[in-house]
Structure 1
Amino acid sequence: MSKPYPPEDLPEATIESIIAHIKDYQANHGSLIKVIGSETEHSVRLHPVGVSVFPTLFPQKLFDEAVELQRIYDELYSKVAEDVQWLQEVTSPLRDKESLIDALWTVYEEVQKRRGDGSAQFPVQNVSGGVFRSDYMLHWQDDDVDEDEANNNNNNNNNNKNREGENDGLHWMNKVTLKQVEFNSYSCAGGVHANKVADMHRFLVRRHVYHDFPLGEDDMNLQSTRENPIRQDSLPKNKTIDKIAYMLAAALTEYRSSSSSSSSSSSSSSSYRQPTAVLMVVQPHNFNTTDERPIEYALWNWEDGGSPIPTYRVEWQDVLQYTTLTETGQLLFHPEEAHGKSIEIGVVYHRAGYEPKEYSGDHGIETRIRLELSRAIKFPSVLGHITTTKKVQQALAAPGGVLERWLTPESAHKIRQTFVKLYPLDDGTPAGAKGVELATNNVSAVDYILKPSLEGGGHNLYGDDIPDFLNTIPRSEWSAYVLMERICSPPGVFNVLMSSEGIVAGDVVSELGIFGTCLWRSVPNEGGRRPTCEMIKNKVGGWSFKTKDAFVDEMSVVKGFGYFDTPCLVDQ
């Protein structure tokens, strides 16, 4: 049997030494999260972010494939965000079932109404931005077993009997493909933490903290089969903080240089403090500010052009109190620190506004309307927000060539290779009827996950829990959910994971997220053409890599379901 990676028989002193380095690195580099409920007037307690002790093996080819696909996904979701008719057809039927979807469409409709009533001049901002993230897992299919047997190894199914004795290196490496878990277009988190953990693992390599862990002779096709896979060139660099900051800065430059902004700046009163700024809208009592603040700091420390990018934070419930909207669409921010002066906002970066309770009253709706009515460039617009729903993901994955509505056949083909089966749950279509059949059968449901259209982790249902759950809710509410085929992760991938709760070692499952940062300009539907957009900037914005115990269903580090990690890239 080949020697596993990392070795399971490492001396305890070696593990303790590596962990000591990790604890010190995290403490000194802000790889931390606030302890909920610990904040006082003068202090706050923090605990380290959950991390992997070793980088986890991942195929170089599939990592490169995910990076290559991101620009196509950015283009796709940017164009979908401009296609109001299609978005309405897909998501409007959920308005009476999903309060958040109803709130977002209410915001959109009210914005159109106020722009058209003639009482005020709210010019349309035709530039939008996105900080997106496409999440993938490795799908394993052994040619020697049939599909049903392979699904018994599914990481999301707590039946992992076939893993015993299979932790023998990279036996799975040539049997995996890349499959998309979900696409996130709103308030994408994790980029800062991922950046810091990648830097940490790369530092540990430079520091020679990792000893020589040779793989077995049969593990992979390296020039030297005794070579340690943890090398500087096998751990990809990750500059997510700088890349997100870059796109926000680029959007602010676009805003400043636009003709409308130029004319308003020349006529603005001396009470405006210039230059224009970025406004990050955040949630109150946020325990995860360490995933937000570094982006703000990067903008204030911005050296490109010789000037910092002014960046401010405002909590969701305070937006109406601290902002005003002029008749020409300027969004003015009035923080107490400005001493009576107003700051013109050129970019709104949303890190709040994704929970139904934030729109439970008129205050939340009016908050989003004000931001949406403004001339500021939104990351993203309310339509861009709607694209993050699982219903949109399911509709895009449906057979029938819908992707060609926005993409070339070549790009559409590349995207489709990452899809798993996704079904609606309704009786009005053949696909919906099939979804209902699969979800209500205890045998077939084992191979699927039930997802609410809007979820932030911790709300999915798995396997034979699905039929029982559906029996507890009215059938009229089933269409608010999407049925997704489970991804069967490769068995025998081993690692050691650590968090404030302790240290665990065993089989693991990883999720690769590729960030995309983009800026686009809408192109109206003239001459019967469908509304679309032209990309101003479209860049890969770094990545996140999260790992969890193979027997855990959910994946969310900040909610305790996973650990930030770094892929150790190896040839298949």
Structure 2
Amino acid sequence: MVGLDEEEVSVIRNEVLTYAAANGLLMLAASGEVGLVHVPVSLLPAMAVPRKLFEEVRGLAEPFNALVERLAGDPGVIRETLAAAAKQDDFTKSLLDIYTRVLGGPRPDVARKNLAVNRSDYMMDEASQSLLQVELNTISSSFGAQSTVMAQMHKQVLGKFDFLSEGGSGGWFGGEALPDCLESCVPYEDTIGDIVQAFATAVAEYSKSRDSVDAGFDSKSAVVLMVVQDDERNIMDQQILEQELWKRHKVRMVRKTLKEIRDEAVLDGADGILRLASGQEVAVSYLRAGYSPMDYKTDAEWDARLTLEQSQAFKCPSIAYQLVGSKKVQQYLAEDGVLEKFLDSEEDCRNLRKCFASLWALDDPEEPQTKQVIEHAKMNPHLYVLKPQREGGGNNLYDGDLVKALEEEPDLSAYILMQRIVAPIRKSFLLRNGECVEADTLSELGIYGVYLSDNGREIINQCSGALVRTKLASSNEGGVTAGFACLSTPLLH
């Protein structure tokens, strides 16, 4: 193994397994089964990031938060940008239909009670040696809790084993010149604390509003409702937030599926208060489901989503935020002059634009420029990725699949074409189901941002922690979220 012998790797492996078990880097062994296993992780930080570039993308989190809020407050732009996609994509159409019903309902202002846990994902572009944005996740941005634990784990490993820093450089890390204090190279933020603080603040804002109109309101009845999938395996990343929310703020969190919400929750038509069967009031709806068509198996799930959106609760995210996170909006924002319509700071616009990869709309394949880029993509598919309006990974098209779609799809308006970011390949030690392998890997850096606003009144806007997701470079698919994906952290140099 590069830079480390088998005994050293075994020592680190045992440390990581112990730390994972003791600190919640766990997931269900299989859907419907009892038992936990460690989440797939890298033994050591898997992504080298120049400290200057890391700080630059950290600095984008707050402008991105503000940008999402401004866009979400402009229904005309959302509808116009997604109109072509909605004609071709039923899921986008259904989301827009709910958005329209909320705005046309008795309480349109509830659409702007927004809480966000955003995660902007970047890959290192080898050609330009810059971090380019893959996407901005506005719904169900997972691993915020476990990213905190991952950073703590890697700090501990790097500080505990002297053989990792002997000689003043990391042979295990491609010979990068690293300081003696290796743990200082792992960035750490309390993302857990930032997220639960935002939840608690939103509950306090909700309670203050309720107190002003209902003298009999009991603030202890206000809860955070986590909307979950019925076959969720990644429960510990969610449960850590539930436990810490109570431990730090004495706020309760309740887990329900969309189907359970439809069957059990009641929305008061007069004041928009959403109550669970227990009598608890929903102060925040936190969606860890609802981002995929698979989450809406029947009309019951769509009814539940409408109920959530029409309530007085803060939404994490609102349906407007979910729509703003779509691929078509990502492409729209990259057009010349668009950022300036929503952000006042020229510097913020300039810095955001630096991280954008090249993006193309495909609404009109016969338009000369669009036709030209489609033909180029057919001839050079390795330079492009075709993205549909989907979240959750595994949906993008590459290589032969990309060419086939460009040639055979009758309507490409629900897709965007994106420059394929060619990232450097690095040797990493990956641990899955207790077994460690050394492999060539590709990595993606995620930066979390937390935001809270009430009808345009900004309450919280902050950057939080970082996460790396690492996958086998030999996978046929170019996206990090598919295949053998492991959690990791960046190592700054």
User: With structure 2 as the length reference, what TM-score do the two structures score?
Assistant: 0.92
**2:370 aligned partner:** 432
In the alignment, does 2:18 pair up with 1:24? Answer: yes
What residue identity is the alignment partner of 2:140? S
Give the length in aligned residue pairs: 487
* Residue from 262, 267, 292 that aligns with 2:211: 262
- Residue 264 of structure 1: how far off its partner (Å): 3.6
**1:567 aligned partner:** 490
CA distance in 2: counterparts of 1:237 and 1:86, whole angstroms: 37
**1:416 aligned partner:** 353
**2:416 aligned partner:** 482
**2:95 aligned partner:** 104
**2:387 aligned partner:** 451
**Structural mapping, 1:245-256, within 5 Å:** 245-256=196-207
**Structural mapping, 1:134-173, within 5 Å:** 134-141=120-127
- After superposition, the Cα gap between the structure-2 partners of 1:363 and 1:457, relative to the gap in structure 1 and judged at 3 Å, is same
CA distance in 1: counterparts of 2:108 and 2:407, whole angstroms: 48
- Residue 69 of structure 1: how far off its partner (Å): 0.8
- Residue 284 of structure 1: how far off its partner (Å): 0.7
Query: Residues 555 and 562 of structure 1 are in contact (CA less than 8 Å); yes or no, is this contact kept in structure 2?
Result: no
**Structural mapping, 1:160-559, within 5 Å:** 176-208=129-161, 210-214=163-167, 231-258=182-209, 261-268=210-217, 274-303=220-249, 308-326=250-268, 327-335=270-278, 342-398=279-335, 400-407=336-343, 408-427=345-364, 429-439=367-377, 441=378, 443-473=379-409, 475-476=410-411, 478-491=412-425, 493-500=426-433, 502-522=435-455, 533-552=456-475, 553-555=477-479
- Residue 324 of structure 1: how far off its partner (Å): 0.9
CA distance in 1: counterparts of 2:172 and 2:165, whole angstroms: 15
CA distance in 1: counterparts of 2:52 and 2:180, whole angstroms: 15
Query: Residues 123 and 329 of structure 1 are in contact (CA less than 8 Å); yes or no, is this contact kept in structure 2?
Result: no
CA distance in 2: counterparts of 1:489 and 1:122, whole angstroms: 44
Question: C-alpha offsets along residues 476-528 of structure 1, whole Å, 9 cap, x if unaligned?
Answer: 2x11111110112135x322222127433243222110111001233xxxxxx
CA distance in 2: counterparts of 1:226 and 1:414, whole angstroms: 28
- Residue 30 of structure 1: how far off its partner (Å): 2.0
Q: Report the aligned-residue RMSD.
A: 2.6
CA distance in 1: counterparts of 2:108 and 2:356, whole angstroms: 40
**1:166 aligned partner:** none
Unaligned runs of 5+ in 2: none
CA distance in 1: counterparts of 2:399 and 2:184, whole angstroms: 40
- Which structure has the larger Rg over C-alpha atoms? 1
- Residue 214 of structure 1: how far off its partner (Å): 3.4
Q: Does 51-60 or 273-282 show the bigger shift? A: 273-282
Secondary structure at the residue paired with 1:131? strand
Question: C-alpha offsets along residues 305-344 of structure 1, whole Å, 9 cap, x if unaligned?
Answer: xxx0122111111102221111211111124xxxxxx111
Secondary structure at the residue paired with 2:164? coil
Runs of 4+ in 1 over 4 A off after TM superposition: 215-220, 225-230, 428-431, 554-557
CA distance in 2: counterparts of 1:375 and 1:495, whole angstroms: 47
Question: C-alpha offsets along residues 355-376 of structure 1, whole Å, 9 cap, x if unaligned?
Answer: 2133353322211111111111
Secondary structure at the residue paired with 2:70? helix
Query: Residues 213 and 228 of structure 1 are in contact (CA less than 8 Å); yes or no, is this contact kept in structure 2?
Result: no
- Residue 123 of structure 1: how far off its partner (Å): 6.4
* Residue from 37, 42, 51 that aligns with 1:52: 42
- Residue 76 of structure 1: how far off its partner (Å): 0.7
CA distance in 1: counterparts of 2:436 and 2:63, whole angstroms: 39
- After superposition, the Cα gap between the structure-2 partners of 1:251 and 1:287, relative to the gap in structure 1 and judged at 3 Å, is same
- Residue 229 of structure 1: how far off its partner (Å): 5.9
CA distance in 2: counterparts of 1:363 and 1:273, whole angstroms: 30
What residue identity is the alignment partner of 1:263? S
Query: Residues 225 and 286 of structure 2 are in contact (CA less than 8 Å); yes or no, is this contact kept in structure 1?
Result: yes
CA distance in 2: counterparts of 1:109 and 1:569, whole angstroms: 45
- After superposition, the Cα gap between the structure-2 partners of 1:109 and 1:12, relative to the gap in structure 1 and judged at 3 Å, is same
CA distance in 1: counterparts of 2:261 and 2:232, whole angstroms: 16
**1:80 aligned partner:** 71
CA distance in 2: counterparts of 1:63 and 1:365, whole angstroms: 39
- Residue 232 of structure 1: how far off its partner (Å): 2.1
- After superposition, the Cα gap between the structure-2 partners of 1:27 and 1:555, relative to the gap in structure 1 and judged at 3 Å, is farther
- After superposition, the Cα gap between the structure-2 partners of 1:465 and 1:344, relative to the gap in structure 1 and judged at 3 Å, is closer
CA distance in 2: counterparts of 1:274 and 1:254, whole angstroms: 13
Question: C-alpha offsets along residues 76-117 of structure 1, whole Å, 9 cap, x if unaligned?
Answer: 1111111110111001221232222111111122223432xx
Secondary structure at the residue paired with 2:392? coil
CA distance in 2: counterparts of 1:356 and 1:13, whole angstroms: 47
**1:338 aligned partner:** none
CA distance in 2: counterparts of 1:333 and 1:10, whole angstroms: 55
Secondary structure at the residue paired with 1:214? helix
- Residue 27 of structure 1: how far off its partner (Å): 1.7
CA distance in 2: counterparts of 1:213 and 1:206, whole angstroms: 12
Secondary structure at the residue paired with 2:167? coil
What residue identity is the alignment partner of 1:24? T
- After superposition, the Cα gap between the structure-2 partners of 1:218 and 1:54, relative to the gap in structure 1 and judged at 3 Å, is closer
- After superposition, the Cα gap between the structure-2 partners of 1:227 and 1:369, relative to the gap in structure 1 and judged at 3 Å, is closer
CA distance in 2: counterparts of 1:322 and 1:105, whole angstroms: 25
